[in-house]
Chain A
Amino acid sequence: MSFWLVMVLAGAVTFATRLSFIAAEGRFEAPRWFRAMLPFVPIATLTALVAPELARPGGAWDVSVRNGRLVAGCAAIAIAAISRNVLLTIAGGFAVLWLVH
């Protein structure tokens, strides 16, 4: 299979996934338990993406102060909780990563 065809198929699947519920909206009534779950989608999904990047960088566990990503990530979480400012959080996280390296 040519790589261009792979890209087009992968792109089509991704687009269909993104469109799925948006296109179906109004054609069926989602149950209440399903609607109750939706507010937690961004929190749970983004947290699930971040956690392994910090505590298992490269796949292996590394929970120590020598893991710069974990230290900088925890610092970024603290900065975000206090400031609620996106730019400050990203800059602060990188600054701490640079300091501990």
Chain B
Amino acid sequence: MDATAPTRPQTAAPDHSPAAELWAGVRGLAPLLVGVAPFGVIYGVVAIASGIPAPAAMAMSSILFAGSAQFLLAQLFALGAPGLVMVASIALVNLRHALYSASMAPHLGHLPRRWKVVLAYLLTDEAYASAILRFSGQRASRGAANRHWYLLGTGLSLWLGWQISTAIGILLGAQIPKDLPLDFALPVTFIAITVPMIRSRAAVAAAAVAAGVALLCAGWPYKLGMMAASLAGIAVGSLAARGRTA
């Protein structure tokens, strides 16, 4: 023991073991489940109302595991859209996940392939947002070696919450009152995740441009306006950040 040890605070060194990181991820995501669960329930209700058989509606939650895409697929099914149109629509709506993949890639590059496959499967809006906040925050360097366990924790708890809530929606079906504004749960959850991230002028610019373009282009098909808005916000944010440091 070195002589300075007794003068240090008595708190133990932060625990960054795999189990501790996994648990931290589960806890980090838990508050978001308050918003995700109602969304999962209404997906179940909408899927059954669209005429999708209950086993298929339930399986979709693990095959697709993407909330807004599952709603779209249920709507397209009800409209009797051709199969290829449905697949292409889902591909477009989920394009934003390529952005998440690019954003997460530098943090996961060292992992074996099986890890990359599992974490990519679990890379939803909420798990991504929760993990990237930790990976790129002020204490980003701490526990870096086991941070993939954190993402695994966020992903697994969201996966479980999504399966349970969609099952409840499928089982309850029409018994859920239609006038409950449950679909407000997702926007308000995204607000809760996003607003605390906006800490610089460049971030404000990115959010303002993304919101403006998204509103103007909301009528575009297949949520392409959302993708255009996202790219515009990203471009303006990074240009603003460069202008500040140059």
Chains A and B bind each other: yes
Which residues of A pack against B, CB within 8 Å?
A: 1-11, 13-15, 17-26, 30, 33-56, 59, 68-69, 72-73, 76-77, 80-81, 84-87, 89-91, 93-94, 97, 101
Write out the residue numbers on chain B whose beta carbons fall within 8 Å of the beta carbon of A93. Answer: 184, 188, 191-192
Pairwise interchain contact A77-B90, C-beta atoms closer than 8 A:
no
Q: Which of B66, B192, B214 contacts A51 (CB 8 A)?
A: B214
Interface residues of B in 44-84 (CB under 8 A from A): 52, 56, 59-60, 63-66, 68-69, 73, 77, 82-84
Which residues of B pack against A, CB within 8 Å?
A: 31-32, 34-35, 52, 56, 59-60, 63-66, 68-69, 73, 77, 82-84, 86-87, 90-91, 94-106, 108-109, 113, 116-117, 119-121, 123, 125, 128-129, 132-133, 136, 181, 184-198, 202-203, 206-207, 209-215, 218-219, 225-227, 229-235, 237-238, 241-242
> How many contacts between A and B, using CB within 8 angstroms?
273
What would 10 more interface pairs be, CB under 8 Å, given A22-B105, A36-B241? A3-B56, A7-B63, A14-B65, A22-B116, A39-B238, A43-B237, A47-B233, A49-B68, A50-B191, A90-B189
A47 vs chain B, min Cβ distance (A) = 4
Pairwise interchain contact B66-A14, C-beta atoms closer than 8 A:
yes
